[in-house]
């Protein structure tokens, strides 16, 4: 059963950043402490640089090979996991030997995860924080500036991503959207399919009421397949909305590309109404659909209720442009195993629908 995101971003690694990552890895020597084992940063050439902690207090940080260090931690993680399981079976959970093995296993597992996420995120760009790409961040999780993409809290005042408050006859709801120009917001068709009596648009400190909206005429909420295909809508206002705007991508989108998703929906703590962003990899792309996976092996982040209508950005010539609109997913709890789907804005019928509402400059020509 598909879920609708009409109520940001769910991410187990988001929790991992807050609780475990600062114990082993940072991106800045000045934030390192006695428990920091690695400094992982990017140089001016965009390459990952990894340093291991000095052997003695006051010693020098030692440069090391990123891939070798990651592979060593993965190997030791697997070795100590087997030792822990063997000791648990032989001596029980409370045995000191079992506890030591468990501690070592968890330590190497934590290091492997931190290094993997650091390397993945730094490979995207020098400014590897997704908030720095779409809006300055307002809150750092953990100690120091961690260059990890996972549900970072962003500053909405300088972002094109807006929050939508939907008022119906007997209920209220929320979605996300993207400001295309000062009078036009891009969102999902299912956000307006129940014909809201009022749509309030929040962009930073600016609040504007919509005067009109239009969903793609071919959108079908009762479709069992490809419901995201035409899940696109435009909202218009008479009053200008202040804030940055974003362009829509032209050309092709590829599986494996790095993307940024953003929205005001539910996070892993069950709260909503805060702009968050995370970077991830596109798992699947066809002519009308984009999909991302949220698994233990790919815990980059996920969308959830309230992120509906929010953007999926890809990078073109140094600019993050809109390639998709958050539509639906497989799991109602937004947890591991979920597949989230987005309307593909390169789909010709979607572009034909958008064209009358937009100026030519909205489309990014790549």
CATH 2.40.10.120-classified regions of the chain = 1-12+133-366
Cα(133)–Cα(144) distance, integer angstroms: 19
CB 290 within 8 A of CB 314: no
pLDDT in the model for residue 272: 76
What six digits make up the tokens of 26? 């940072």
pLDDT in the model for residue 291: 94
pLDDT tens, N- to C-terminus, the chain (366 residues)? 344 444 433 332 222 222 333 357 777 676 777 778 777 776 555 556 778 888 776 677 788 777 677 778 888 888 999 999 999 999 998 899 999 999 888 888 888 777 776 655 444 332 345 666 665 544 332 222 222 223 566 777 778 999 999 998 888 889 999 999 999 999 999 999 989 999 999 998 889 999 999 999 999 888 777 889 999 999 999 999 988 899 999 888 999 898 889 888 877 666 778 888 888 889 999 999 999 988 777 666 788 888 999 999 998 877 889 999 999 988 887 877 888 999 999 999 999 999 987 764 455 444
pLDDT in the model for residue 128: 41
In the chain, count H helices and then E strands.
Answer: 5, 21
pTM above 0.85, yes or no: no
CB 237 within 8 A of CB 257: no
> In 332-356, which positions are buried (b, 16+ CB within 10 angstroms) versus exposed (e)?
eebebebbbbbbbbbbeebbebbee
Q: Which runs of consecutive H residues, i.e. helices, occur in the chain?
A: 12-19, 66-91, 96-122, 130-134, 348-354
pLDDT in the model for residue 22: 37
Using DSSP bridges, classify how beta strands 311-316 and 258-263 pair: parallel, antiparallel or unpaired.
antiparallel
Sorted by sequence, the CB contacts under 8 Å of residue 244 that are 6+ apart come out as 135, 158, 159, 160, 179
CB 268 within 8 A of CB 151: yes
- Fold classification of 1-12+133-366 is Thrombin, subunit H (2.40.10)
Cα(126)–Cα(135) distance, integer angstroms: 15
Cα(55)–Cα(38) distance, integer angstroms: 12
pLDDT in the model for residue 141: 28
């Amino acid at each position: 059963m598909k879920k609708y995101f009409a109520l940001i971003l769910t991410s187990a690694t988001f929790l991992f950043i807050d609780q475990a990552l600062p114990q082993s890895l940072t991106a800045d020597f000045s934030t390192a402490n006695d428990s920091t084992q690695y400094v992982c940063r990017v140089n001016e050439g965009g390459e990952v640089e990894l340093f291991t902690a000095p052997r003695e207090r006051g010693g020098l940080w030692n440069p090391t090979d990123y891939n070798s260090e990651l592979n060593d931690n993965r190997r030791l993680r697997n070795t100590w996991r087997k030792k822990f399981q063997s000791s648990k079976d032989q001596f029980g959970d409370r045995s000191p030997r079992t506890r030591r093995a468990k501690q070592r296993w968890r330590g190497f597992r934590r290091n492997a995860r931190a290094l993997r996420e650091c390397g993945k995120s730094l490979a995207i760009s020098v400014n590897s924080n997704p908030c720095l790409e779409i809006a300055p961040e307002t809150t750092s999780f953990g100690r120091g500036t961690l260059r990890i993409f996972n549900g970072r809290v962003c500053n909405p005042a300088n972002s094109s991503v807006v929050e939508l408050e939907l008022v119906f006859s007997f209920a209220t709801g929320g979605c996300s959207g993207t400001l295309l120009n000062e009078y036009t917001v891009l969102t999902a068709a299912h956000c307006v399919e129940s014909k809201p009596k009022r749509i309030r648009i929040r962009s930073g400190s600016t609040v504007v009421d919509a005067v009109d909206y239009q969903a793609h005429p071919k959108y079908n909420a009762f479709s069992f397949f490809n419901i995201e295909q035409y899940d696109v809508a435009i909202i218009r206002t008479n009053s200008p909305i202040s804030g940055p705007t974003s362009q829509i991508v032209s050309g092709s989108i590829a599986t494996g590309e790095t993307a940024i998703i953003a929205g005001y929906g539910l996070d892993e703590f069950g709260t909503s109404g805060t702009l968050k962003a995370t970077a991830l990899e596109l798992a699947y792309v066809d002519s009308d659909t984009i999909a991302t996976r949220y698994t233990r092996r790919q815990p980059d982040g996920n969308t959830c209720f309230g992120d509906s209508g929010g953007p999926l950005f890809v990078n073109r010539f140094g600019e993050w442009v809109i390639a998709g609109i958050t539509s639906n997913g497989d799991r109602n709890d937004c947890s591991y195993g979920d597949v989230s789907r987005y309307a593909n804005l390169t789909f010709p019928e979607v572009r034909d629908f958008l064209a009358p509402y937009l100026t030519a400059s909205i489309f990014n020509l790549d």
